[in-house]
Amino acid sequence: MLIHEDRLFPAEPSTRAIAKALYEQVRGLPIVSPHGHTQAEWFAGNQSFPDPAKLFVQPDHYVYRMLYSQGVSMEDLEIGQAEIKDARKVWRIFASHYYLFRGTPTRTWLDFCFQELFGLEERLSEKTADLYYDVISAKLKTPEFLPRALYERFQIEVLATTDSPLDSLEAHKAIQASGWKARIIPTFRPDSVVDPEFKGFAGNIEKLGGLTGGDTSTWAGYLKALRAARERFRALGCTATDHGHPTAQTADLSPAEAESLFREVLRGGADPARQELFRAQMLTEMARMSLEDGLVMQIHPGSVRNHNRRIFERFGRDTGADIPSPTNYVQALRPLLDAFGNEPGLSVILFTLDESTYSRELAPLAGHYPCLKLGPPWWFYDSPEGMVRFREAVTETAGFYNTVGFNDDTRAFLSIPARHDVARRMDCGFLARLVTDHRLDEDEAVELAHALTYGLVKKAYHL
Amino acid sequence: MLIHEDRLFPAEPSTRAIAKALYEQVRGLPIVSPHGHTQAEWFAGNQSFPDPAKLFVQPDHYVYRMLYSQGVSMEDLEIGQAEIKDARKVWRIFASHYYLFRGTPTRTWLDFCFQELFGLEERLSEKTADLYYDVISAKLKTPEFLPRALYERFQIEVLATTDSPLDSLEAHKAIQASGWKARIIPTFRPDSVVDPEFKGFAGNIEKLGGLTGGDTSTWAGYLKALRAARERFRALGCTATDHGHPTAQTADLSPAEAESLFREVLRGGADPARQELFRAQMLTEMARMSLEDGLVMQIHPGSVRNHNRRIFERFGRDTGADIPSPTNYVQALRPLLDAFGNEPGLSVILFTLDESTYSRELAPLAGHYPCLKLGPPWWFYDSPEGMVRFREAVTETAGFYNTVGFNDDTRAFLSIPARHDVARRMDCGFLARLVTDHRLDEDEAVELAHALTYGLVKKAYHL
Amino acid sequence: MLIHEDRLFPAEPSTRAIAKALYEQVRGLPIVSPHGHTQAEWFAGNQSFPDPAKLFVQPDHYVYRMLYSQGVSMEDLEIGQAEIKDARKVWRIFASHYYLFRGTPTRTWLDFCFQELFGLEERLSEKTADLYYDVISAKLKTPEFLPRALYERFQIEVLATTDSPLDSLEAHKAIQASGWKARIIPTFRPDSVVDPEFKGFAGNIEKLGGLTGGDTSTWAGYLKALRAARERFRALGCTATDHGHPTAQTADLSPAEAESLFREVLRGGADPARQELFRAQMLTEMARMSLEDGLVMQIHPGSVRNHNRRIFERFGRDTGADIPSPTNYVQALRPLLDAFGNEPGLSVILFTLDESTYSRELAPLAGHYPCLKLGPPWWFYDSPEGMVRFREAVTETAGFYNTVGFNDDTRAFLSIPARHDVARRMDCGFLARLVTDHRLDEDEAVELAHALTYGLVKKAYHL
């Protein structure tokens, strides 16, 4: 067997027993996925997923960044190609390098998929590459493996996608019009129209005006168009926005200063500091709009995007070369918090790629400001050790109730159950340790296991 | 029962057994509390503590910051009011939100107090709020709960308060004059007269002159007045100073530069960098005076005070909105260390709110400079996980003997035994793990448990 | 007995059993030591080591920095003296302070040496000081304790020293000419000729020219001389270079800019920023040369050298007062990576003294760039807890195969087996935890234990 019933539980037997008992209480709860990168088109069209390489290798930057780091070329993996020419060859390369993932969450997620979804029980390797390829290919063609069937099999209660304000959201509309009883909702991610460094920024803002029927060449018109775009998302069930800035910097300029800055970045040629100031100001504007329309704000700062220049030039954005960098929150968030930090109607969820901020800045901030909550460990830290470090670093200062449950944050639809399963196990293990140490009673641990799995995410994301 | 006999010990049975055996050796040792924020007035007057809300909620920023973070208003908790109008109502709010503290040290400390001092055994909740209120209120009126009786019951050997150079120290004098056999001593905390950003700075310096009978309008007169103030503290048993600067920056200006800087900050209008430079210079001046008079220096840097502007404007300093920030020691301390770092007569205890500095800067510094020692984990890190991280991060580089035992650092007098108990348990657990791993022999662990509980603090603080 | 058969294994019995089984598979493997500070002269001359103080105290900054931190004077330890006048007195001071090392890796290494090499079984203390001194002194005079005999007894397969480009490498030549079958190889460490702040920089560059027979007063001549020097090292078996810069900053100037900068630093008087830029440029030049000649690059940044001014002035470089500082990699390495990051022929091993970078920067970088690998935990982190933190922080993102096995990095030749033993035990313990948690199968753990002990280091260092 690839996966063991007791995986990820603490080794010490009495703690493990408590962890298992807690897990039994939550393993069957529905999946609430408030933040991720699946495509609404999959569920609108409900077509078969094409092949194992297209499904598991090509879209998963966790997978190909590791292969690339060990000398496998991006070309051999056909990364960035719309159609994969030799999917079996790509799969064989992946299979023969599968040992590289030992000790990584990718391995844990994939083994879960292989066994639980495809019934595979022998480890993936060069030797079993073709067996895997054939079994997975065959199953993908069956009705049970169509996107909607999988959605239901996974017991997903809500699934949020991540979408540009320039997206027509046709797929979301089609799902809702189809009568299929699923809750798939968009998330408002405005990078393309709030980040002056985004490709085609000025054109994007013009397009935004076109979509909402207003003039976006003025600051007031631009803000109005953003409000209209948010409204368009809300009408389709959206409850949250998402902001992926290089830093957590916020600003609170006077309207006149903001207007002048807007004109400057729109013209192009603003220097990096002014571009950063514009993004900073836009976080505060988004908070202001959230106060009005109730959308929850997610802030995901601290990633240096496209770090590898040649890979970026050749393969484009999001191809596995984003690297975290030191992130400051305590000074950076101050302008936004000075303006709205004590507003009961505002809800801001903070994420980090700089774990040193958990105990130093994020837990103290979330343990004080009513509007702040802490997102789950993100990206590289969506992992067993990352989850332990997160709970150990934040719980004593911010408690459990200033956290918001789990985000799977994935492009890999089939990995969703595996990822939620890891989170449930790790949370139950953490709670079990508190019970064994007599820091928590067992009835409280049961209540918390439920909250961390289901209650907090629904509340925090207004679902 | 609220608390378990084996709480906080490692789960693995053989390690737990060693931890328990070590703990038995130190649980009965007297409490030495060299740094905290209790009030000498309590012991001078020896009046009953008023009521549960005034005792447990109002003065404890750990408590009300968590409540505030979850939407409870400061007004409903009557924070900042001299008299609580409806103490029972405040208590009920607290009780019904007590679940928020799950997994926090506050919960551990309070449960200890509730059970050990008040005999309560059912968990605090909305349901038991009134029971708690009545039991605690009744006991507080009995002679056994007067401050001096509790001091004796807690087996406190020394208790240091934290005091301004502008304080008359009348309460300390009264205690000493009363013939009561307790050792309650002041600590010299000069923020109000060394920090140009402190409210009323210039006036404070004038007052300092008034108290010590000298002219503080000149640099020489100011330094002389500080020396006299320190002497006044020493005469009442003070053995240490405490410095709570925004950063750990020190400076070593020439007397002429220092004098000119002093005049500048005294006039007002010095910019933030010059104000910071003055604080930096004053750390070095304090080190110079410590070399002369033997007072131990404590440096507590890295807190951004009063982060929440509205809370600060409405409720004032120290109302739960101080947030740690990244802190540098390695460059910041250099001017002071260049001047006095190798003086055998100097003793400087360093604290941090930036745990990333423990293994990177603080342990290497304390593991080399004879004048440097490391204070225990402070504030948000005065917690089980914080203590584990501290020992794991510093012991291998600085050893145990460059640390100084425990500080309870509390305003909550009744929590003192609980806090020391947590520290003793966690240290015994850490030592037990070293014994189980065969990194340490059991006889050494016994010696160390005693040193960490009692020996090191007495030596480090010259008690 | 001083050391226990099960030392450093996890406490939980089933995990410990797995760790022991893994350790049995690797305990007998030869030692590959690709980075350290032993002296080739020892093996060329093969003379007896003089006495216990000269062997264990005087050269080991881990030892005397701890003693100094607790008030023992450098003079009493005779640090920096070519000849020790009263070796027994130095030894007695050390012995009576041996308790200071409780909980440190130094204690673990020394106890291993004392028991395994000298047969001592009673703990070192004031009481046993003379016994130790006599036993060790006597054994050191026997043929079994000559450097070459110990090299063979330790089962060393390769031992790399660290050497200046200005070194004649006569000792290495002598070893190779002697016919003794050992592989002792130099490492190219060019600080003295690439760091404008190095004592005698301009003179060193002139000397470099002299050694290689070229004119180093021009940029082209200087680069040519460096190439020739590298070639001289390679001819003696060298496979790696080592770069100990204050930061990880790299630069990629045009040849004209580089030439002008070279002239400026050579003249003297370049300001600190320009000196730093020159070091940064030289990292990129070294990478370029590595691409040509295949030498592996090691980058060891982040140490503030000679932090204690008085100790430096009196005792010189490397006397125990180097302190780590915050280190940035993500921006600093970009110029080098932009130039050569995707070259399959380049191999760069990164080390850190700032553990916060492991999960934030180093693992993501090494988990993507084909040229980057992560060195083992270095210096203060060459310790049980340091090793655990390293594996926990990097494995999930970079896997095991982007790491390079263990470096003992020691000046203390006799501690080599002890240090490798600690690394083997800690790696087996880490793997055992993954097996107990069902994150890894046992056959994979066996394969990994072998790779972490032997396979990866040979591959990474081209041995």
Cα–Cα distances in angstroms (integers) from residue A260 to residues A257, A274, C187, in the given order: 5, 11, 58
- B302 & B268 share domain: yes
* Cα dihedral across residues C152, C153, C155, C159: positive or negative: negative
CB contact under 8 A, B438 and C7: yes
Closest by Cβ to C11, choosing from B372, B402, B437: B437
Angle at C30 between CA C28 and CA C35, to 5 degrees: 135
- Does residue A373 sit at the B interface (CB-CB below 8 Å)? no
Chain A: residue nearest B388 by CA? A392
Closest by Cβ to A355, choosing from C359, C436, C447: C359
Closest by Cβ to C380, choosing from B341, B356, B359: B359
Burial annotation C291-327 (CB, 10 A radius, 16+ → b, else e): beeebbbbbbbbbbebbbeebbeebeeebbbbbbbbb
- Strands B303-304, B323-324: pairing is antiparallel
Residue type, A80: G
Is B5 contained in some domain? no
List beta partners, residue A374.
Answer: A350, A403
Reply yes or no on whether the pLDDT at A317 is more than 90. Answer: no
Closest by Cβ to A437, choosing from B7, B101, B324: B7
- A344 & A394 share domain: yes
Q: Which among B61, B101, B102 is the top mutation candidate for probing chain A, defined by the most A β-carbons within 10 Å of its own β-carbon?
A: B102
CA distance linking residue C362 with residue C325, whole number of Å: 16
H or E segment at C123?
A: none
Query: Do residues C354 and C329 touch, judged by C-beta distance below 8 A?
Result: no
Which B positions 400-439 lie with beta carbon below 8 A of chain C?
400-402, 433-434, 436-439
Quickly list DSSP for B106-171. HHHHHHHIIIIIH---SPPSTTTHHHHHHHHHHHHTSGGGSHHHHHHHTTEEEEE--B-TT---HH
Binned at pLDDT 50, 70 and 90, residue C202 comes out as very high
Chain C: residue nearest A304 by CA? C330
CB contact under 8 A, B69 and A328: no
pLDDT (0 to 100) of residue C88: 97
Reply yes or no on whether the pLDDT at A174 is more than 80. Answer: yes
Nearest to C413 by CA among C60, C2, C19: C60
Reply yes or no on whether the pLDDT at A320 is more than 80. Answer: no
Angle at C430 between CA C426 and CA C435, to 5 degrees: 140
Coil, helix or strand for B185? strand
pLDDT (0 to 100) of residue A455: 98
pLDDT (0 to 100) of residue C244: 96
Neighbours of C259 (CB within 10 A): 16
Query: Do residues A66 and A104 touch, judged by C-beta distance below 8 A?
Result: yes
Over residues A338-359, the mean pLDDT reads 97
ipTM: 0.97
Percent of chain A with pLDDT over 90: 95
List beta partners, residue A189.
Answer: none
- C418 & C456 share domain: yes
What are the chain A neighbours of C356 within 8 Å (beta carbons)?
Answer: 326, 354-356
Closest by Cβ to B102, choosing from A331, A436, A444: A444
Is C6 contained in some domain? no
What are the chain C neighbours of B438 within 8 Å (beta carbons)?
Answer: 3-4, 6-8
Give the total number of structural domains in chain B.
2
Percent of chain C with pLDDT over 70: 100
CB contact under 8 A, C10 and A11: yes
Q: Out of B120, B145, B170, pick the residue that ends a domain.
A: B145
CB contact under 8 A, B392 and C381: no
Which C positions 223-242 lie with beta carbon below 8 A of chain B?
none
CB contact under 8 A, A102 and C448: yes
- B367 & B392 share domain: yes
CB contact under 8 A, C437 and A101: no
Helices (H), C124-216: 129-140, 147-153, 170-177, 191-194, 201-212
Q: Out of A145, A160, A193, pick the residue that ends a domain.
A: A145
pLDDT (0 to 100) of residue B59: 86
- A275 & A292 share domain: yes
Is B347 contained in some domain? yes
Over residues C34-50, the mean pLDDT reads 97
Residue type, C365: L
- Does residue C442 sit at the A interface (CB-CB below 8 Å)? no
In which order are the strands placed within the sheet that holds C348-350?
A: C240-243, C296-299, C348-350, C372-374
Radius of gyration of chain A (CA): 22
CA distance linking residue A38 with residue A58, whole number of Å: 14
CB contact under 8 A, A307 and C337: yes
Query: Do residues A182 and A151 touch, judged by C-beta distance below 8 A?
Result: yes
- Does residue B3 sit at the A interface (CB-CB below 8 Å)? yes
Neighbours of chain A (3+ CB pairs under 8 A): B, C
Over residues C326-351, the mean pLDDT reads 97
CA distance linking residue B265 with residue B269, whole number of Å: 7
**CA max distance for chain A:** 66
Binned at pLDDT 50, 70 and 90, residue C59 comes out as confident
- A288 & A269 share domain: yes
- Please give the DSSP secondary-structure letter assigned to residue B454: I
3-state helix, strand, coil in chain B (%, to 5): 55, 5, 40
Instruction: Give counts: helices (H), strands (E), chain C.
Output: 22, 9
Q: What is the dihedral of CA C408, C413, C419, C421, to 10 degrees?
A: 120
Binned at pLDDT 50, 70 and 90, residue A57 comes out as very high
In which order are the strands placed within the sheet that holds C156-160?
A: C31-33, C156-160, C184-185
Is C156 contained in some domain? yes
With tokens 């496998």, the residue in question is: A72
With tokens 């539980």, the residue in question is: A9
What are the chain B neighbours of A400 within 8 Å (beta carbons)?
Answer: 102-103
Cα–Cα distances in angstroms (integers) from residue C86 to residues A99, C78, C96, C138, in the given order: 57, 8, 16, 17
- B373 & B257 share domain: yes
CB contact under 8 A, B368 and C108: no
Is B4 contained in some domain? no
Binned at pLDDT 50, 70 and 90, residue A70 comes out as very high
Instruction: Give A448→chain B minimum CA distance, Å.
Output: 9
Domain of A114, CATH number, reads 1.10.2020.10
CB contact under 8 A, C103 and B438: no
Closest by Cβ to C355, choosing from B331, B359, B365: B359
Over residues C113-138, the mean pLDDT reads 98
CA distance linking residue A341 with residue C90, whole number of Å: 61
Nearest to B419 by CA among B405, B434, B408: B408
With tokens 């802190």, the residue in question is: B327
CB contact under 8 A, C320 and B368: yes
Binned at pLDDT 50, 70 and 90, residue C225 comes out as very high
- A230 & A368 share domain: yes
CB contact under 8 A, C103 and B372: no
Where does residue C142 rank: exposed (0-12), middle (13-18), buried (19+ CB within 10 A)? exposed
Residue spans of beta strands (DSSP E) within B246-354: 296-299, 303-304, 323-324, 348-350
Is A7 contained in some domain? no
Express each pLDDT in C71-95 by its tens digit. Answer: 999 999 999 888 999 999 999 999 9
Q: How far apart are the first and last CA of chain A?
A: 37
Is B132 contained in some domain? yes
Over residues C218-241, the mean pLDDT reads 97
What are the chain B neighbours of A402 within 8 Å (beta carbons)?
Answer: 69-70
Query: Do residues B132 and B91 touch, judged by C-beta distance below 8 A?
Result: yes
**CA max distance for chain C:** 66
- C269 & C227 share domain: yes
Q: Which among A65, A106, A307, A383 is the top mutation candidate for probing chain C, defined by the most C β-carbons within 10 Å of its own β-carbon?
A: A307
- C214 & C327 share domain: yes
pLDDT (0 to 100) of residue B317: 81
Closest by Cβ to C105, choosing from B15, B396, B434: B396
CA distance linking residue A70 with residue C403, whole number of Å: 11
Where does residue B434 rank: exposed (0-12), middle (13-18), buried (19+ CB within 10 A)? buried
Instruction: Give B79→chain A minimum CA distance, Å.
Output: 14
Neighbours of chain C (3+ CB pairs under 8 A): A, B
Residue A42 main-chain phi, psi, to 5 deg: -55, -40
- Does residue C393 sit at the A interface (CB-CB below 8 Å)? yes
pLDDT (0 to 100) of residue B259: 97
CB contact under 8 A, B11 and A366: no
Q: Out of A101, A125, A145, pick the residue that ends a domain.
A: A145
Over residues A379-391, the mean pLDDT reads 98
Tokens of C118: 């000298």
pLDDT (0 to 100) of residue B318: 79
Neighbours of A134 (CB within 10 A): 12
Is B7 contained in some domain? no
Instruction: Give A208→chain C minimum CA distance, Å.
Output: 34
pTM exceeds cut of 0.95: yes
Helices (H), A154-254: 170-177, 191-194, 201-212, 219-234
Neighbours of B288 (CB within 10 A): 17
List beta partners, residue C323.
Answer: C304
Chain B / chain C CB contacts < 8 angstroms: 126
What are the chain B neighbours of A437 within 8 Å (beta carbons)?
Answer: 7-9, 11, 384
In which order are the strands placed within the sheet that holds A240-243?
A: A240-243, A296-299, A348-350, A372-374
B109: domain range? 48-145
Q: Which among A349, A359, A395, A436 is the top mutation candidate for probing chain B, defined by the most B β-carbons within 10 Å of its own β-carbon?
A: A359
What are the chain C neighbours of B392 within 8 Å (beta carbons)?
Answer: 385, 389
Over residues C411-431, the mean pLDDT reads 97
* Cα dihedral across residues B194, B200, B202, B206: positive or negative: negative
Chain A / chain C CB contacts < 8 angstroms: 126
- C106 & C246 share domain: no
Where chain B has pLDDT below 50, the residues are none
CB contact under 8 A, B308 and A401: no
Mean residue pLDDT of chain A comes to: 97
Angle at A85 between CA A81 and CA A91, to 5 degrees: 95
Cβ within 8 Å of residue C259, ≥6 positions away: C218, C219, C220
CA distance linking residue B180 with residue B174, whole number of Å: 10
Mean residue pLDDT of chain C comes to: 97
- Does residue B12 sit at the A interface (CB-CB below 8 Å)? yes
Neighbours of B171 (CB within 10 A): 20
- B205 & B112 share domain: no
What are the chain C neighbours of A321 within 8 Å (beta carbons)?
Answer: 368
CB contact under 8 A, B368 and C99: no
Neighbours of chain B (3+ CB pairs under 8 A): A, C
pLDDT (0 to 100) of residue B327: 97
Which C positions 311-370 lie with beta carbon below 8 A of chain A?
328, 330-331, 334, 337-338, 341-342, 344, 356, 359-361, 363-370
Residue C134 main-chain phi, psi, to 5 deg: -70, -45
Closest by Cβ to B396, choosing from C103, C310, C356: C103
Domain of A450, CATH number, reads 3.20.20.140
Over residues C104-111, the mean pLDDT reads 98
Query: Do residues C114 and C94 touch, judged by C-beta distance below 8 A?
Result: no
pLDDT (0 to 100) of residue B33: 98
